[in-house]
Amino acid sequence: MTEISKKLRQAGLKVTVPRLRILEMLEQNTGHHASAEEIYKMLLGLHQEIGVATIYRVLTQCEQAGLVRRLQFEGGRAVFELACSDHHDHMVCVRCGHVHEFHDQVIESRQKEIADRSGFDIEDHTMVLYGLCTRCREQARNKD
């Protein structure tokens, strides 16, 4: 039994081919945040014909079961990543939509210090930085 199968069963979900394939796509692309449409295209490339509606349904079920996280960035479409125990933040390119994960212990420590000074217990947080990725910045420079 694969690790994905175990996680599906532990979450109370039946192990089906669409669920396995979609979670495998997210696992194989760790660090890459894919939309349902991108997952559809990746699966088509592997000759796995799973409809977009099924992909959305599976992603929603897996999100509700805590296996997948849906990220909705300003001005962008929903993208998905496997839920993991390690916290990370994101940088989003405002031109192409590329999402880059990062973790910075100094930022995490400062957030905790600020919350502690205010008597605030952090349960969760999200930090998203918006700007231009290297590729888009280079393209903008070359146009000038």
pLDDT digits (tens, 9 = 90+) for 101-141: 899 999 999 999 999 999 999 998 889 999 999 999 999 88
* Spatial distance between the Cα atoms of 24 and 3, rounded to a whole number of angstroms: 10
Every domain of the chain with CATH number 3.30.1490.190 lies at 86-144
Every domain of the chain with CATH number 1.10.10.10 lies at 1-85
Sign of CA dihedral 30, 35, 37, 38: negative
**pLDDT above 90: residue 28:** no
53-88 confidence digits (pLDDT tens): 999 999 999 999 999 999 988 777 789 998 876 888
Classify the phi-psi angles of 72: left when phi > 0, otherwise alpha if psi is within -120 to 50, otherwise beta. beta
| Helix or strand run (H / E) with residue 100 | strand 99-102
Residue among 122, 8, 111, 118 at smallest CA distance from 65: 8
CB atoms within 10 A of CB 34: 20
What is the pLDDT at residue 2?
A: 85
What is the pLDDT at residue 85?
A: 67
| Domain 86-144 fold | Dna Ligase; domain 1 (3.30.1490)
pTM for this entry: 0.78
Residue among 26, 22, 82, 84 at smallest CA distance from 58: 22
Question: Which CATH entry fits the domain spanning 1-85: 3.40.50.12240, 3.30.70.20, 3.40.50.300, 1.10.10.10?
Answer: 1.10.10.10
What is the pLDDT at residue 32?
A: 77
